[in-house]
A and B are shown apart, each in its own frame.
Chain A
Amino acid sequence: MKQLGTESNIKLIDEKGLRIDGRSPEELRPIKIEVDVLNRADGSALIEWGGNKILAAVYGPREAYPKHNQDINKAIVKARYNMEAYSVDERKRPGPDRRSMEISKVLSEALETAIMVEQFPRAQIDVFIEVMQADAGTRIAGLTAASVALAAAGIPMRDFVAGCTAGKVDGQIVLDLCKEEDNFGQADLPIAIMPKSGRIVLLQMDGDLTVEEVEKATGMIMGAIKKIAEIQRNALLTKFSVTQTEGGE
């Protein structure tokens, strides 16, 4: 790289078909999830997904305030996606902005599908998603961590929520974009599903893809989510691994 920001001369996929960070087109970045990292939260999870470092904390269900926001039939899920000022290369102006408010909304709705909100009328479930280090795909990484934190908080859910991105880079469909591919690629398609039923709870697209490309990308994501769901399960199970040695079958 000679000059940062000059997009034309960056080659995202080399002659061998490997990507800028050495991955193959269908390879995920390394993912690590740690559960219950915060004592005061009802449930929390820290996810490290490639260069992303995201903390998710869950509080509640508790009575919804202000009172006019209460729903007599179900709990309201309030996810707050927030990027720290130091999470990106150039300082991000702190506080909510257009982008983070949109992401908060779609994440709330994605989580609400999985949570049994009808069990907690008039209540509110708070999910705080703090991006401490961003490296593309923060919304689905935050969502993946948030669903683990919800399970750790003992909130009844139909299923986990797990997500992944795919995109078009140098004319080729690749899985799990990294920062350079996200910035200089042609399209980005984050999808989140409930892994057991395969129901889609979040789907957004940035850039243009043909129908065939969307199908190919979706197929890749569906395969990757199986692996991500396994990482989510193991993160929770390792916390109670005592059982396997002491109380297991």
Chain B
Amino acid sequence: MTKIREIVLPGDPIDLKGAKARNGLYKNAEGVYCSSYFGVIQRGDQSVDVVPFTGTYMPRRGDKVIGKIIEIGPSMWIVDIGAPYASLMHMNDVPWRSSSGDLKRSLNVGEFVYAKVLSTNEINESWLTLKDVGLRKLEGGSVISIPSPKVPRVIGKGGNMVNLIKDSTQTRIMVGQNGLIWLDGAPENVMLAISAIEMVKNEAHTVGLTDRIAEFLKSKKGETVGN
């Protein structure tokens, strides 16, 4: 990341420099664009965003998220995706055949799914689907959580950060847009991957992070081989 990361606080006026205001900004009574979050400014070619340091996840259509089944209705699963509101998954939106009233046979309370947000509405209700490539029930492994605004940093440009962690720790990792991350592999590898993700989380606002993570993973690997 070569972009300058400039910190702003709620209510700070932002000079758009001719670009369009996108997420995290609002127009005040005088018509000046101001930040609505405590976060960093991200300037693109045509748009300006304010990316908050932390915050809850709000479901958007098309997002791939990790969710936990918290309740089962006659024809729906109720899924916690870390948003202020629970999400719903209808039995017609899963790739296997299930009959009404017998949903817990295929997916029980407490189990995790990697699902896609099918639709949302104006009062922030959302529906999930498992009918797409790569979407599935998550069996085994463990799930950790980070603030959702930090997910892009964990994934990295074109997925290079998460691939780096995957390759050097030999774990399987799935990152949901909502900040839940599923990891599977040998326990010591998973622990190492978790500490690398924690490091990304804590230093998400700094520059040159991928190199530091690579170094960190290398040094840790050296330790285990040395022992």
Contacts and interface: CB of A to CB of B under 8 A. Distances in A.
Real complex partners, A and B?
A: yes
Interface of A: 42-43, 60-63, 72, 114, 116, 119-123, 151-160, 194-197, 233, 236-237, 240, 242-243, 246-249
Interface of B: 4-7, 9-11, 24, 26, 28-29, 34, 36-40, 52-56, 58, 84-86, 122-124, 147, 149, 203, 205-208
Contact of B34 (A60, A72, A158, A236): A158
B84 A157 contact: no
Given A120-B124, A121-B123, A197-B29, A154 B55 contact: yes
Given A63-B85, A116-B36, A155-B55, A160 B11 contact: yes
Contacts of A157: 10-11, 36-37
Given A120-B124, A160-B11, A240-B205, A154 B86 contact: no
Contacts of A60: 56, 84
A236 B11 contact: no
Contacts of B7: 237, 240, 243
Contacts of B205: 240, 242-243, 247
A35 to B, nearest CB: 10
Contact of B207 (A42, A43, A194, A247): A247
A67 to B, nearest CB: 12
B7 to A, nearest CB: 6
A246 B29 CA distance: 36
Contact of B26 (A155, A158, A195): A158
A124 to B, nearest CB: 8
26 contacts: A60-B56, A61-B56, A63-B85, A116-B26, A121-B123, A123-B85, A151-B37, A151-B38, A154-B39, A154-B55, A154-B147, A156-B37, A156-B52, A157-B10, A158-B10, A159-B11, A194-B11, A236-B38, A240-B53, A242-B206, A243-B5, A246-B207, A246-B208, A247-B4, A247-B207, A248-B5
